[in-house]
Structure formats: C-alpha cells, structure tokens
Structure 1
Amino acid sequence: MRRLIFALTLPAICLTVQAEQTGRISGKVLDKAGKPIPGSKVNLKRTDRNWAKDLIPDKNGSFLQVGLDPAEMIMTVSAEGYVTQTETLKIPLGDVIIKNITLLTPAEAPKTGPQAAPEDPGDALNNEGRSAFNQAIPLYNEGKFGEALPFLETAYKTLTEAQVKLKDEKAKTELAPELLKIERVLGICMAQAGYKKEEAEPYLLKALERNPKDERVIAALIETSKAKSDQAAEQKYTAMLEAIQGPNPDVIYNKGVEAFNAGNAKAAKAQWLKVLEIAPNYAKAHYMMAMVEFGENNLKGTKTHLEKYLELDPNGKDAATAKEMLKDPSLKRIK
C-alpha cells in the first residue's frame, strides 16, 4: 500500500507592534449652556515652522485631528458672536490631548483679566472626563480596544479627580456609578488591547465582584491570566465562562491546535473530539482529526473526517488538500 505523505502547516499569527510616532488632539467647542456652536472653528498653527490647519467641529461640537507631529502649537478657537480664545499647547508623542473649549459671548465674558474660573472646581474635569468617555465608547463597541484605551484612561483619571473636587453633592452622587462603568470598560480594553493585560486585573476583579456573571469581564480575565502564564487562573475563569455560556468550541479547538503545534497529537485529538461532541458540524475539527488519524495510520478515520470536512466546507481553505488526499488509491479503497 502506497503511503501518503503530507506536510501540514498551521498558520501562525504574527503581531507587529509599531510605536506611535504622532499625536492627536480632540475635544469639543460648546457655549456656556453646554450646546454646540454652529460655525465654530479650531485653528492649529505650529510655532516652529509655517504650518496651520482649520478644524471644523461636527454637529455635536466635537473635533479630532490625528497624525500630528509632537510639536508646540497655537490653538485658536473662534465663532461669530463669541470671544476668540487662544492657547499654546504641546502635542504629546503617541498620545491624545483633549481640549474642551467653552466660548463666551462678549456679554458673558469678564470685562477685564482672564476668564473667571467656574464656581465648582470639579465642573470642568467632570465635563472633560465625560467627553473622553463618549469618544471611547464607539471605538470600544467596534472592538478597537487599542484606540479606545487612551480616551478611557483620560476619562478615568479626570473623573476620579473630579469626584474629589466637586462641591455639588448631587453631581458627586451621579458620577459614582459612571466611574464604576468606566473602570469596567477600562479593564476590558486593557486586557484585550494586547499591551496592558496585567494592569487590567485590579479593575476587572472589582467589576467581577460587582457582577460575577459578567461574561466580558471573565473573558478579559482569561486574557490577563494568559499574560501572567497563570494556568490555574486561566482554567478557573474558563470554567466560569463555560458555566454561563456552555463549552466554547472555538476555545477548545484552539487548545487542540496549541497541543498539535507542540507535537502532542494525542492531546490535540482529545480536544478536537471534545469539539465534535459539542459541535458535530465544526468543519475545521474534522479536517484536523483527519490529519491526526492519518498520522496514526487509521485510513478509515482519515477518509471519514476528510469527507465530512468537504461536506461541511466544500470551499474551505483546506478543501484542495482534502480532495487531493481522497484521490489516493489507498483511501479510495476504504469502505
């Protein structure tokens, strides 16, 4: 009997992390009542060379500019019927600077000297933090955890400070649950972004204490456990998640791939059999089972799993290999 020899190559995912070489600026332009100002304009002008750009806030008063060099700039904010504000600022490297501007009419502006500070020293911080959180949420919902993270860090830091400085007890009370919400989302983003996993754990543990069935928090704790190479914790949180969701075939399949890549075909086979118990139509598990059976010279098992794989995923990435294998006389003879 002629033996079949196939090279099985499992794709590896390579992550390349590039350091951010630019900064960003974002914020809002609002009137004294906290409403957007139609026709407002934000002008950025570098102090070290001839470069300037106008930013037009959207209908919510929000503006954003990315890809800025870390340089000193003059920011001028203006709108018809309002007093123009000018400020010199430094764009941070690989980070975002948030500037929320309140423009005043000539009647509202102080007659002399700088603009008067708000009565409550926590108001500005409260507004800034909430604005940063609002910018983070769409990114978080889209799974862009790395992009959401700077906004969330700003929101958490600023609102924590605001809670200390606010004199309005009602505002303090309203802010407390918002901080807990931000703390949870911050922990999830840290765990999922890929570069602050271990720092996420304290936030996630507090969130889990408040809601022991929070699936996203538990999934994030699995990531922090992997980052710490804490297998006991990873198993614990995986069991918690499975108790809520049921066994996850994707997770089990990936464990099989890890075992197979490590040269442990027996352990890989056990994982893929478990996948097929949970999800009999999991095509990739059938293909991998065929490879293991072939390695064990079980041609009947090889043929059965190859045919099932092609039935479930006839145009899959391994379909061509499966079809070629099934053409071999040694497999064609198997009934």
Structure 2
Amino acid sequence: MTRLHTLSWRRGAWLGRKLPGLVRVSVVLGALAFATPVFPQTGGLTGKVTLQDGSPCVKCPVLIERQEIKGNYHVNTNKKGEFVYVGLPIGNYKITFQDPNGRTLFFFGQKHVGLGDPTDASLDMVKEMASQKKEQMASPEAQKQVQEQAKEQKQFTGLKQLYDQGNALFEQKQYAEAAAAFEQAIPLAKDKNLIAVLSRAADSYHKARMNDKSVETYQKAIAANPSDASLHNNLGSVYADMGKIPEAQQEFQKSAEIDPANASRAYYNMGVVMYNKGKMDEAAAALKKCTELDPKYADAYFLQAQALVGKATLNADGKIVPAPGTVDALQTYLKLDPNGKYAATAQQMLQQMEASIETEYKKSKKKKG
C-alpha cells in the first residue's frame, strides 16, 4: 500500500510562512506502577509571547522539542499571551513560537530546562528583532547564518510549491505531469523531505505506467532510507506489475522483516499481487502466512480460498472436489465477516461445494447398500 509522506520543516526562522476487484475479485492492496515514591527529575517552561506591535500573542502554539532524546510537547498561550508547561525531563529544548494560523514567528534553538522551577522562555518580538538586527550589523558570521536561513526558507518555499503542484496533478490523475513536478522538487529537498518527494515521484511514475522510472526512483528513496518498510512494499508492487515476481517477493519479504508488527499486511499485499498475476500457488502461500500471523484477517481467508479454487478436482461422476483448505478458508471468512463485501460470493461457493460433497457421499453410501 502506498503510504503518503508529508513534508516537514526542519529548521526555523522568524516570520516564516505556514509550512504548512471462478469470480474476478477486485482487491485493494490493500503506568501506572506502584513503587517507592521518588521526586520526579523534571522541570518546566513558562513565559509570555509579545508581538511586534506590543500586543500579547493570544492562543499561539508553543512547540517544545527535546534535543538529546526525541520528545515533542505543545502548549498554547492564554488571553494574556502567557504559557506554562511543567513536567518536562531535564535537558535542552528547541522552542518554536507560532501565530494562531500556524506561521512560525521565532524559535529558540537551545533552551535548557533544569530541575525545579520552570525556566523562563518569554518572547518579546520587538526586542528579539532589534537584537538580531544589531547582531547582523555587528557579526559577519551571524549575517551569513541569517542569509543561509533565508536561502533555506526560499528553497523550502519553492519545494513546497512544487510538491503541492505535484499532489494536485496526482489528484487530477495527471500522473506523468505530477511526476515531472515532483522531479523538479527533488533537488530542493533534504533529509525527510527528500524521502517524501522521491516516494511521491515513484508512485506517480507507477500510476503513469512508467515502471522503469518508478523502480529507479523507489531505489533512490530506499538508498536514502533502507529501513522504510512501505518503500519496499511499494517497490514490490511495481516489480509485480512488471512481471518480475522474484524481485517482487523479495521486496515484500523485506517489508515484512523490517516491520514485523505489520508483516501480515505485507504478505497480504504479496498474495494480492500474485493472485492478480495468476500466480495462484504463490498467492495461496503468501496468504497462508498472512493468516498465520493474523488469524483475524478476514479478506485474506477469502482470497486464499479463491487462489485454491483452481486446484479443485472432479471425481468420476463429474462432481467438484475442493482442494484441501478451501472450505475451511471460506467458512472462516464468513465467521469473521458474515456481512462482508465477499460474503454472498463465499456463501454461494460453499453451497456449491457442500452440495457436491453431499451428493458424492450419498452415492457412495448407496453403492455399499
């Protein structure tokens, strides 16, 4: 399944903008602990946010990001522009101030939170702007840093415009044009944003049936982030559409290994692809793994039964003898999802199979008499 990545603005600057489907089946790839009381090793942040016109910043988000160990916190200012957040682990934090519309006003790159009373993190935009202007005039290094941040901000703005343009074209099913827009965005993207853009470009190429370009682009994304299970899953789907079954199986397997918690879905997707390609043995095997990992995955049982239908045989009287596991799979599907989208088909298949079995049994019994 395609997972939609989103852009993220890694660095901040003041006055930034808001970064802001036998039957043919259509299947979508789819503490509280009691212990000896101890004093918590925490601190907090407090302060007031004042805008450039001297008025308090009301209902303004304050984003608190721990630097040493991942941790993100959030608080809004009150009617007086004041805020307080207690219970923060001791350490260094990046504090980003936004206006009510989510536009970044300013950030403190490093603010230490110690044990005890909350650390003051007030923001007075008038003073900060004056101070920074003074530093820019006095320090060439500071001026260079500001210029670099401005350049980065400009780059990100261009990146986001192209990214949004690509998404809009994708929604309009203009996949080749969407891919072209995402390609233009790639040179402007960094870190997490690069993965997001590459993934969307690869997906667009796939939708445009430009599979070679899709594979190439997914491989670039995987090279940048080998541990992203969704990228391997999506690449597996492209390989399957190209008829490269071994490569597809390999990528689905990697996805399952990287993300064991969602391995059942990777095997289900593998089963769907194999089924749609007419590879029924491979489909049945993958779907069996899926149901072993997740015994409640209803759709997997139905598709497994569909993959086994072709293995049914006929006895001397021309009666259908279902392959082992077919009836069990259909019965399990109906037990798990009696009103599901495949319920009517499953019931009809079972009735036909059970009628054949019953007829064969009665005739056999008559012969014995």
TM-score in terms of structure 2 length: 0.42
Higher relative contact order (CA 8 A, sep 6+): 2
TM-score computed with the length of structure 1 as normaliser? 0.45
